[in-house]
Structure 1
């Protein structure tokens, strides 16, 4: 429902638009201090980002005080916490949520629509905002979120180990067959070396969706009534996960341990999100030569990769706070905020001006960050399963993948996929 949607005229009067290139402080708001409560996920990735954003925003909007709550551990916790807080009236004013969690917060009428705020802006395109940004946070024909940080899956290679295993750093593999073969050679270098790690348990089944989408597959049928990942794309994805274990001897490591092991120089190829790049590079600290490369086996023409990352949403129903929150939202998704985000993480900014002006030389100086940017033409939505069981389905998929990685069922990937298909089908709202 759009019960909290303000008209463009009301918003314009309240926040003294239009937007300038520097996003100047609206005079009406400067005389009326407002405190906003903000919460975001993954402190290890975003603490420095939000520290710098808070400082930069304060210089432009001293009338708005930002109070940050302790970060959510991950996207799942962030969504569950907001769902509980909506019942107890303890919501923050602004929340950063996973791209695949817009749907559930709209369905529960927690997210506040942004259409009126956007309509009131007169210079948004010049500030780097564009339709694709609105599309990411659109549900039921209305915009409820703007993307803050975009990530795509990439491969991280230890070129020192690649050379020792006889690989060619200038021609890293682009297929799973090639990745697995080289990883197996690296694994054979010694008992303290891992050929590969694949962050299969990353939030929201992201690295389950990626290899399925890369082969042109989908999670569900178009009407969302039936599982569709049980086709050839899904079977290839599950079989390859099993091959990581059986052929490349992939260890069962948690996401932080896989990152740390790679950064210590003990893993040949680490497959995860570009969001880890700045942190991982800092941890490596020159111990070996790092090179990022594309995600393998993206089918030409139909292959896509799910956009990871997070969006920013206004969830306060207070209209005075909404006006102030909009100033914060358009700053963090605008060129200056987006550039801060890109430089302090491995994420990509969706804002065009951030890329074209603020980050003009950044990717030239940091080519490892540009790998994911090259994959932007094949970006697609991170899928959110429908209905009351949407979050539970995520856990069910994770449990079945876990049975492969722990080696309990690594020899039977097709059977695991069949069981996973059955269990997910039972949880779909339109299941017959």
Structure 2
């Protein structure tokens, strides 16, 4: 009995010591419907490698804009998470305000850091003033999703490569009884599709600190959207409802981020799904904006153990092993050389719908943030303008362009 009690005491002592060694960190990320399954897939390997680190997941952000607004509020209230996922176009404001910390002190302690896949081309997405402030977690590009059963039955025999061909496919489907031929993702975060139409024409939406909405390319983008919305009779669906409707087999064509592919496939009805490259304005796009997010270190803890635990988590989820789960569970591409070249060597060959975005990587351009503290407000102004096209409240695109230019210029920094 003494031996048994002594052994039990040792076990309890060891358990207590392990509990004392446990470090808890807090983590926040967007889009639970896309990423919950990703983090669930990652956790067993992380816990095996780091049994004494507990990751406390905060409530997910609704969108990248919500994520940035939340972090800005939490910085004021002193309630920041240790690690946050933020949109690639929302990092700069957090760096400028000192909320996102430099990762250089952690990187300096790592042996052969570049060998894990974090080469310069990837780190540049999150590098500001020469310092790495985030590790890219996922990269997406816009693609077309096609319900081949609807298209074939309606007499559309090839995937469109231009928006004129998309409109032609819409008209063919409507003539053959398809009520809802298209959803075009105008409402996607960060005016991403507006930037996609501008980059398609090789035009950046921000140049020299100014938002370039007064250009012929910007007018062409507005006119292109109007043609798609009106000639396709697009229903003004909330984006989650649109993704659900497409997954249920009710929409013929959907243009959205490749990021949703995993979610669509998991809820897909009984139809053939094919993805295709993002169509262009009369020709193949000359560029497309890189969507996605990066992991940022925002911990305010001065405890070295918490800091190291936060770095261990941040490093793991963006590593080759972690990034591979991103590709497997979503449609995002992992911006990690080790994931793409080693772990996922045969993955894209076996998953051609996920290969579509990879084939478009040569078109990758920056997803641009709007200058100054009013960047989120500018995003909302452009969003509201596009919504007016969708609802039919705006019919004169030149007039709308002039209104947007005036409103956005009022929000830009004066110096």
Cα distance in 2 between the residues matched to 1:32 and 1:139: 35
Partner in structure 2 of residue 166 of structure 1: 155
User: Does 2:395 correspond to 1:406?
Assistant: no
Shift of 1:233: 2.0
Partner in structure 2 of residue 26 of structure 1: none
Residue pairs, 1:17-416, within 5 angstroms: 32-169=21-158, 172-190=159-177, 193-221=179-207, 223-224=208-209, 226-285=210-269, 287-297=270-280, 303-319=286-302, 320=304, 321-409=306-394, 411-416=395-400
Cα distance in 1 between the residues matched to 2:163 and 2:127: 34
> Which digits, 9 at most, give the CA deviation of each residue in 1:92-140, with x for residues without a partner?
1111111111011011110010122223322223222211221111122
Cα distance in 2 between the residues matched to 1:386 and 1:136: 17
Shift of 1:85: 0.9
Cα distance in 1 between the residues matched to 2:410 and 2:373: 12
Contact kept in structure 2, 1:38 and 1:69, CA below 8 Å: yes
Cα distance in 1 between the residues matched to 2:188 and 2:285: 24
Cα distance in 1 between the residues matched to 2:403 and 2:175: 33
After TM superposition, the score normalised by the length of structure 2 is 0.91
> Which digits, 9 at most, give the CA deviation of each residue in 1:292-314, with x for residues without a partner?
01111179898221111111011
**Structure with greater Cα Rg:** 2
> Which digits, 9 at most, give the CA deviation of each residue in 1:251-270, with x for residues without a partner?
11110111122122221210
Q: Which moved more, 1:115-124 or 1:204-213?
A: 115-124
Contact kept in structure 1, 2:68 and 2:90, CA below 8 Å: yes
> What secondary structure sits across from 1:125 in the alignment?
helix
Cα distance in 2 between the residues matched to 1:57 and 1:300: 45
Cα distance in 2 between the residues matched to 1:301 and 1:284: 29
Cα distance in 2 between the residues matched to 1:346 and 1:185: 29
Q: Which moved more, 1:366-375 or 1:415-424?
A: 415-424
After TM superposition, the score normalised by the length of structure 1 is 0.88
Cα distance in 2 between the residues matched to 1:344 and 1:176: 30
Shift of 1:198: 0.7
> Which digits, 9 at most, give the CA deviation of each residue in 1:194-252, with x for residues without a partner?
1211111111111111111111111122x21x331332221221111101122111111
Count of equivalent residues: 396
Shift of 1:415: 1.7
Question: Structure 1 residues 264, 151: CA separation in 2 closer, same or farther (over 3 Å shift)?
Answer: same
> Which digits, 9 at most, give the CA deviation of each residue in 1:296-345, with x for residues without a partner?
11798982211111110110133512222111111111111001111111
> Which digits, 9 at most, give the CA deviation of each residue in 1:55-78, with x for residues without a partner?
221110112111111111111111
Contact kept in structure 1, 2:262 and 2:329, CA below 8 Å: yes
Q: Which has the higher helix share?
A: 2
> What secondary structure sits across from 2:170 in the alignment?
helix
Shift of 1:166: 2.2
Cα distance in 2 between the residues matched to 1:68 and 1:121: 26
Shift of 1:181: 1.1
Q: Structure 1 stretches of 5 or more lacking a match?
A: 1-28
Structure 1 runs, 4 residues or longer, greater than 4 Å off: 29-32, 298-302
Q: Which moved more, 1:97-106 or 1:296-305?
A: 296-305
Q: Structure 2 stretches of 5 or more lacking a match?
A: 1-17
Cα distance in 2 between the residues matched to 1:242 and 1:391: 24
Question: Structure 1 residues 430, 30: CA separation in 2 closer, same or farther (over 3 Å shift)?
Answer: farther
> Which digits, 9 at most, give the CA deviation of each residue in 1:140-173, with x for residues without a partner?
221111111111100111112221232224xx12
Contact kept in structure 1, 2:25 and 2:55, CA below 8 Å: yes
Contact kept in structure 1, 2:163 and 2:282, CA below 8 Å: no
> Which digits, 9 at most, give the CA deviation of each residue in 1:21-76, with x for residues without a partner?
xxxxxxxx999532111111111111111122222211101121111111111111
